[in-house]
Amino acid sequence: MTAHPTTDPAAGPVPAAGARTLMPAESAPHERTWMAFPTANATFGEEGSPSLADARRAWAGIAAAVVRHEPVSVLVAPQDAAAAREALDPRVVLHQVPLDDAWLRDSGPTFVRAGDRVEAVDWVFNGWGQQSWAAWERDARLARRVADLAGVAVRCSDLVQEGGGFHVDGQGTVLLTETVQLDPDRNPGWTKERVEAEVHARLGTSAAIWLPRGLTADYGEFGTRGHVDIVATFLRPGVVAVHTQTDPGHPDHAVSAEVTEILRQAVDARGRRLQVVELLAPLTTEVDGELVDFSYVNHYVGNGFVALCAFDDPRDAAAAAVLAEAYPGRRIEPVDARDVFRFGGGVHCTTQQQPAAPAGPRN
- Give the Å distances, CA to CA, from 87 to 80, 206, 337: 11, 42, 17
Whether 130 is in a domain gets the answer yes
pLDDT band at 6 (very low <50, low <70, confident <90, very high): very low
Helices marked H in 218-268: 251-265
Whether 187 is in a domain gets the answer yes
Q: What mean pLDDT do residues 199-220 have?
A: 97
Write the CATH number for 234: 3.75.10.10
Cβ-based neighbour number of residue 265 at 10 Å: 11
Q: What mean pLDDT do residues 223-244 have?
A: 97
Domain holding 72, by residue range, is 21-355
Give the pLDDT confidence score for residue 360 in this predicted structure.
46
101 phi and psi angles, rounded to 5 deg: -150, -170
Q: What mean pLDDT do residues 61-71 have?
A: 98
Whether 11 is in a domain gets the answer no
Domain total for the chain? 1
pLDDT band at 20 (very low <50, low <70, confident <90, very high): confident
Whether 13 is in a domain gets the answer no
DSSP 3-state assignment of 150?
helix
Catalytic residues: 349
Give the pLDDT confidence score for residue 362 in this predicted structure.
45
Whether 48 is in a domain gets the answer yes
pLDDT tens for each residue of 316-360: 999 999 999 999 999 999 999 999 999 999 999 999 999 998 864
With a CB cutoff of 8 Å and minimum separation 6, the contacts of 142 are 36, 75, 97, 99, 104, 107, 108, 109, 125
With a CB cutoff of 8 Å and minimum separation 6, the contacts of 202 are 21, 110, 112, 121, 123, 155, 157, 159
Question: In what side-by-side order are the strands of the sheet with 167-168?
Answer: 167-168, 173-177, 207-211
Give the pLDDT confidence score for residue 359 in this predicted structure.
63
Question: Which of 245, 252, 241, 246 lies closest to 215, judged by CA?
Answer: 252
Task: Write down the mean pLDDT value for the chain.
Answer: 94
Bridge pairing between strands 173-177 and 207-211: parallel
Tell me the C-alpha distance between 146 and 154, whole Å.
10
Give the pLDDT confidence score for residue 18 in this predicted structure.
56
Tell me the C-alpha distance between 330 and 307, whole Å.
10
pLDDT band at 361 (very low <50, low <70, confident <90, very high): very low
Whether 12 is in a domain gets the answer no
Residue 363: pLDDT above 70?
no
- Total-model pTM: 0.93
Whether 317 is in a domain gets the answer yes
Helix (H) or strand (E) holding 73: strand 72-76
Whether 360 is in a domain gets the answer no
